[in-house]
Structure 1
Amino acid sequence: GYHSFECGGAFTTLAVAPRQCFNVADAAGTPEARLWALAVQIYSLRRAGDGPTGRAGDGGIGDFSALSQFAVKAANEGAAGLVLSPVHAAFASDPHHFSPYAPSSRQFLNPLHADPGVVFGGAAVDEAIAHLGLGETYAALERSDYVDWLAATPAKLAVLRHLFDVALPRMPDLAADFHAFRTAGGPSLDGHARFEAIHGERFRADTGQWHWRSWPEALRDPHSAEVSNFARLHAGEVTFHAFLQFVASRSLTLAQNAARSAGMPIGLISDLAIGTDGGGSQAWSRQDEMLIGLSVGAPPDLMNAIGQTWGLAAFSPRALVRTGFSVFREMLAATMGPAGGVRIDHVMGLMRLWMVPDGAAARDGAYLAYP
């Protein structure tokens, strides 16, 4: 575990680690295990409903209930796990930014993959869809061979908002669970929810304010009085975005439970992207721990003679040491929590990253070592 250590007036974080990580042999219960898993892109795991007047499906984007169903089928064929595409939080107000490898935050989830039916019950979801007149929209999105992020995102969020506004107040036990979830999420969850609320307002008013560095100066600082005042005046919107994380978290946890109950020794294997979008919630809310003005990329090589710049923000090595790796530990805990394993994208990034200054050519970057 992690401990705060004081010696002679100096403070540091002490990590007491086991000799090795929990591994495949541990999951299988034997050192001679030979296990196999399948890789799945969650958004492509489609779950159809019963049509405009029947039970809803996934609304056009593969969800965690479809993942549960697939996990059971794969387990029956002997699969030990499912390697997932990243389920990191995107930008609720802008469905154009849907890449799971350029998320708003690696600590939180994409609520578009949540199935509110496993939280509220199918009848409540169907009532919401009917009330909003989205039956035909849902049916059309579910019939499509392609994922239409631009159409599916507002439809799914509208249903989730109706459940938040109408169904949640009628379910005191569920509301209490949400309150406990939000309390446990602490400042990190609150920071993400505040960002989503502010980003939605600024971007809808002016598309030139998509990036938080284009916002009014006072709103660029997550700890400013103006941000606190915004959160107070828009408390309902901030709470809604925390609620989205609650529904997504519960839905994903149920998927892992289904995989393990079906006999998978590992179950879901999360995918941790190499960085976050520099305009997202993690870069905004944890500025003191991020490298602002630099992007992760790759140097020139035989495959790409000019190198690459990916537009992703990374952690500051000095800040990691100064804070006892708190932001990194929180991210790993969030990634590991509802999963049986983790795949780390570009795992060498734990040791060094090619960082490129904003506006510079990729070849002008440099490797930055990590502690």
Structure 2
Amino acid sequence: MLDLDAPVSGDLARLAEAYRVSTTFEDWRGDEVTVLTRTVVAVLDALGVRLEVEDDIAVELERVRLAPWRRLLPDVVVTVQGEKDDVAVHVGQDAADDVRVWLELETGGHTDVTRGEPQASEELEGATVVRVPFTPPADLPLGWHRLCARVGDGELVERPYVVTPARLEPPAPGHPSWGFMTQLYSVRSQASWGLGDLGDLGDLAWWSAAELGADFVLVNPLHAAEPIAPMEPSPYLPTTRRFFNPVYLRVEDIREVAYLPSTDRAVIEWQAEAVRPLNADPALLDRDEVWAAKLVALEAVFEQPRSSVREREFQAYKAREGQGLLDFATWCTLAERYGLPTTRWPRSLLDARGAEIESLRGELAGRVEFHCWLQWCLDQQLEEAARRAAAGGMRLGVVHDLAVGVHPDGADAWGLGPALATGVTVGAPPDAFNQQGQDWSQPPWRPDGLSASGYAPFRDMLRTVLRHAGGLRVDHIIGLFRLWWVPQGAHPSQGTYVYYDHEAMLGILALEAHRAGAVVIGEDLGNVEPWAREYLTSRGILGTSILWFERDYEAGKPKPPQDWRELSLASVTTHDLPPTAGYLTGEHIELRDRLGLLTRSVAEEREVDEAERRSVRHQLEDLGLLVREGGPTEREQVEALHRFLTLTPARLIGVSLADAVGERRAMNQPGTSDEYPNWRLPLADGSGRPVLLEEIVTSPRVRDLAKAVRPEDSR
């Protein structure tokens, strides 16, 4: 039997390496930790490798070694434009002269591939298999091509061959572009139905561009949540990352509303009147109440006939999104009928490709169509928000946010099958800010599942999110290099890293962003190796620089502005920290102490924090951004911190809208769920009074903070 409590060693370590499962890692204090056998066995199990006794290890080692020799072509090839890479073709020695390989180009036509001499051989079940290198041309166009092979008159084998850009074009140098960063649901107007919506996004984008000179607005992930109550409040725990949450629809902006009969129009007005008073309510946001009202209204609009052209547009949208949209709409329909979690569903409905699903889809076709229609409406309103941003003069426009993963009981977990792992969740090891570690309860991508699918689920997700985006922020972008897998039931500290083909994943991300004309910002905070940041920079992907974290830790002082990264989005704070007004008073320490998230004493934590904030204040004074005499006001400190950002070479500057209105409360406290009202706070001033969009556009405080990052002569 395996000693599950022993550190990993020997053949098990070699097997883990073959599956890119880490057996050691460096913790946040710089110490090397060896992973326990029980963790590695559980992670390998999630990758389809079952180990019950010691002898199983040798069997699995041989299986993984021979796997490439059993395939004529690799599952997928992702390369960089301009580079020559050989493709390994494995074929029986007797048929080596009969194998032909070519490329079918995405835009049409084909090109032959240069054949090399066999390089190696392997005995496989009594036959000799040889490895023959084929070299495609280096000057292939960007895109998703098809690598084709045929042995004699045998079956045609096709695999994706993806040519990606060597580097994305980052924002132009010079005076940095700036924009607001906000949680859209919290930004309400008098026209909102209790939550900020896509109409509010369009207004915020146009106004901040036309009157304040903003070049982008960065919003939280708009991914879809559950279609029934209770709706998950965290935008970072969606049911799918490919499609959007219809709670963000501005009902009145759907074209068919204008043609509704008066009785149906009254239904919409009644629903709006029921929830509009929530806009001025300082209480926690109630997504369930808002969605219940919108759902009734949207069902009424859906029943209104569409013009023949509008119907053709809808059908074209469905054809473009294909099976993925149909699966998502089916899952929503099943969730409405049977509830959640999916353990309530008949077992036959848990297989998204099962015969029972196809039968039920026909029975519930009208409701499935309704959920497809909601996504079409969202697509149109996202397009309109992007158009308004451009009309206001934004150079980038709306920057969307891509969450790390999805809900374990959501639409993607149901519909993507082997692309996602089961029995493990994504998290983070202990670090200085979250000293207990984190379990985000999300199923990770399976590296082998992504490869077997030709990265199609990843590509399709990116295409949908990027369609109307000027940029994409990728939360925890190190997750495209490696993710911390936590076996179910284990403490977050008892996980290990699983590594991905980052060149393939970042290449595909760069290709889809290039096609969309979008910039990519990687949230690369925390424990990120320097080489990973260097690789991101080499591909034109921006990093994230937070003022409080930009320190020279050896010297014990903040980095001077000239030492900040150029290719980055620089900001004072982020949604995982309190707004600056709250951070300046150390409120985050008291909060984490109350929630039991500290491993050091409050006194020690406060001493370290106060010393760091004091060193930042002295830096601002030395640069002439704050006066030493007297006590600067909170507002003066917030503005000085933002003026500091303009002294750095960062290409983008992000200004939290919460900072602009004087909010003090953290929108999210990492490491908590029900202990803190994460993602449920309305945008408010320092006293907790809700601030609506109409007040924001006339606020001197907001304008002064915008002026701090945008000199008058910058345009």
TM-score exceeds 0.5:
yes
Aligned residue for 2:163? 16
Could you tell me how far 1:67 is from its partner in structure 2?
0.6
Determine if contact 1:83/1:269 at 8 Å carries over to the other structure: yes
**1:42 maps onto 2:184 in alignment:** yes
**1:80 maps onto 2:218 in alignment:** no
**Larger relative helix fraction:** 1
Aligned residue for 2:201? 67
Q: Please give the alpha-carbon distance, in whole angstroms, between the structure 1 residues aligned to 2:234 and 2:263.
A: 31
Aligned residue for 1:94? 229
Determine if contact 2:256/2:306 at 8 Å carries over to the other structure: no
- Pairs within 5 Å for 1:135-154: 135-146=272-283, 147-154=285-292
Aligned residue for 2:460? 330
RMSD: 1.9
Aligned residue for 2:297? 159
Whichever residue aligns with residue 7 of structure 1, its letter is: A
Q: Please give the alpha-carbon distance, in whole angstroms, between the structure 2 residues aligned to 1:174 and 1:145.
A: 40
Q: Please give the alpha-carbon distance, in whole angstroms, between the structure 1 residues aligned to 2:208 and 2:215.
A: 8
Q: Please give the alpha-carbon distance, in whole angstroms, between the structure 2 residues aligned to 1:250 and 1:330.
A: 18
Q: Please give the alpha-carbon distance, in whole angstroms, between the structure 2 residues aligned to 1:305 and 1:38.
A: 30
Aligned residue for 1:270? 400
Long gaps (5+) in structure 2: 1-142, 152-156, 502-715
Flag the 1:265–1:40 CA change in 2: closer, same or farther, 3 A.
same
Could you tell me how far 1:164 is from its partner in structure 2?
0.5
Whichever residue aligns with residue 99 of structure 1, its letter is: S
Aligned residue for 1:134? 271
Q: Please give the alpha-carbon distance, in whole angstroms, between the structure 2 residues aligned to 1:107 and 1:123.
A: 30
Aligned residues: 350
Q: Please give the alpha-carbon distance, in whole angstroms, between the structure 2 residues aligned to 1:225 and 1:82.
A: 45
Q: Please give the alpha-carbon distance, in whole angstroms, between the structure 1 residues aligned to 2:485 and 2:162.
A: 28
Q: Please give the alpha-carbon distance, in whole angstroms, between the structure 2 residues aligned to 1:73 and 1:95.
A: 34
Flag the 1:164–1:11 CA change in 2: closer, same or farther, 3 A.
same
- Pick from 174, 177, 180: which aligns with 1:32? 174
Q: Please give the alpha-carbon distance, in whole angstroms, between the structure 2 residues aligned to 1:87 and 1:127.
A: 32
Q: 1:159-206: per-residue Cα shift (whole Å, max 9, x none)?
A: 1111012x2x25333222212211211000000000000011111xxx
Flag the 1:319–1:363 CA change in 2: closer, same or farther, 3 A.
same
Aligned residue for 2:253? 118
- Pairs within 5 Å for 1:118-267: 118-120=253-255, 123=258, 128=264, 130-131=266-267, 133-146=270-283, 147-165=285-303, 167=304, 169-203=305-339, 210-267=340-397
User: SS of the counterpart of 1:269?
Assistant: strand
Determine if contact 1:124/1:163 at 8 Å carries over to the other structure: no
Determine if contact 1:86/1:273 at 8 Å carries over to the other structure: yes
Q: 1:209-268: per-residue Cα shift (whole Å, max 9, x none)?
A: x22255222110001111111111111111111111011111011001110121101000
Q: Please give the alpha-carbon distance, in whole angstroms, between the structure 2 residues aligned to 1:284 and 1:332.
A: 19
Q: Please give the alpha-carbon distance, in whole angstroms, between the structure 2 residues aligned to 1:22 and 1:229.
A: 48
Tell me the TM-score normalised to structure 1 length.
Answer: 0.89
Flag the 1:127–1:360 CA change in 2: closer, same or farther, 3 A.
farther
Whichever residue aligns with residue 291 of structure 2, its letter is: T
Determine if contact 1:82/1:269 at 8 Å carries over to the other structure: yes
Q: Please give the alpha-carbon distance, in whole angstroms, between the structure 2 residues aligned to 1:214 and 1:327.
A: 27
Determine if contact 2:221/2:402 at 8 Å carries over to the other structure: yes
Flag the 1:170–1:307 CA change in 2: closer, same or farther, 3 A.
closer
Q: Please give the alpha-carbon distance, in whole angstroms, between the structure 1 residues aligned to 2:182 and 2:431.
A: 30
Q: Please give the alpha-carbon distance, in whole angstroms, between the structure 1 residues aligned to 2:423 and 2:346.
A: 18
Q: Please give the alpha-carbon distance, in whole angstroms, between the structure 2 residues aligned to 1:299 and 1:197.
A: 37
Question: Which shifted more, 153-162 or 14-23?
Answer: 14-23
Whichever residue aligns with residue 179 of structure 1, its letter is: Q
User: SS of the counterpart of 1:301?
Assistant: coil
Q: Please give the alpha-carbon distance, in whole angstroms, between the structure 1 residues aligned to 2:257 and 2:302.
A: 15
Could you tell me how far 1:7 is from its partner in structure 2?
3.2
Flag the 1:150–1:32 CA change in 2: closer, same or farther, 3 A.
same
User: SS of the counterpart of 1:16?
Assistant: strand
**1:320 maps onto 2:455 in alignment:** no
Could you tell me how far 1:127 is from its partner in structure 2?
6.0
- Pick from 398, 409, 420: which aligns with 1:290? 420
User: SS of the counterpart of 2:275?
Assistant: helix
Determine if contact 1:116/1:251 at 8 Å carries over to the other structure: no
Q: 1:59-82: per-residue Cα shift (whole Å, max 9, x none)?
A: 111111111111111102111101
Q: Please give the alpha-carbon distance, in whole angstroms, between the structure 2 residues aligned to 1:289 and 1:188.
A: 13
User: SS of the counterpart of 1:334?
Assistant: helix
Determine if contact 1:114/1:252 at 8 Å carries over to the other structure: no
Q: Please give the alpha-carbon distance, in whole angstroms, between the structure 2 residues aligned to 1:43 and 1:114.
A: 11
Aligned residue for 1:347? 477
Q: Please give the alpha-carbon distance, in whole angstroms, between the structure 2 residues aligned to 1:294 and 1:127.
A: 51
Q: Please give the alpha-carbon distance, in whole angstroms, between the structure 1 residues aligned to 2:387 and 2:476.
A: 28
Determine if contact 1:290/1:314 at 8 Å carries over to the other structure: yes
Q: Please give the alpha-carbon distance, in whole angstroms, between the structure 2 residues aligned to 1:325 and 1:99.
A: 26
Whichever residue aligns with residue 241 of structure 1, its letter is: H
Q: Please give the alpha-carbon distance, in whole angstroms, between the structure 1 residues aligned to 2:379 and 2:323.
A: 17
